[in-house]
Chain A
């Protein structure tokens, strides 16, 4: 099993550009989520999904869109990048449709918006 994979590892965007951060897992996990990690802020939840076709907002959803058309994939879209979105983004998954299980994290995507 590859676990949770994220692409790209690094990305530099100009303000106003859009892009999609990819996240995939091959563990047949129902629960997937996106976090951003900023210095001194810990990890903050952006969006999450408890199964294919179901998504919901976390703490900091503004400026981001998600969809979950398959169990395996949970892409995060930045519609119009802003410098405030410079961060490290982590995708995570867990077996059940809840947060009560161990979360498996991807390696992260480091995004810089200039």
Chain B
């Protein structure tokens, strides 16, 4: 099966705390892409990062960092010194290929992050 699991349904933190959102995936593909998207309370979906399966370097962008580990099939997302504006639902997604069909993107069920002042 090819799937994305975000086991944390909801996380609550107080501002300035660090928080890690977990993403575990299953795939039979050797080449694939992983993504994180943010959905703030306004409802739109915003792209955060894309990572291909051959690039296991961790990435940092400001307060955001991502830890990709193929050995554990995980692509975790950490927010350092969280802020109220980080409150949103965060989705992890995986590209999948299927024999005889066009590649698709499948999403996890999302993690709702609430950051309290």
Contacts and interface: CB of A to CB of B under 8 A. Distances in A.
Contacts of A108: 43-44
A101 B104 CA distance: 11
Interface residues of A, number: 27
B49 to A, nearest CB: 9
Interface residues of B, number: 26
Interface string A38-69: 00111111001010000010110000000000
Interface of B: 4, 6, 9, 33, 35, 37, 43-47, 50, 52, 91, 93, 95, 101-110
16 contacts: A42-B6, A42-B108, A42-B110, A43-B107, A45-B106, A48-B104, A56-B102, A59-B104, A99-B104, A99-B105, A100-B103, A103-B37, A103-B47, A103-B105, A105-B44, A107-B43
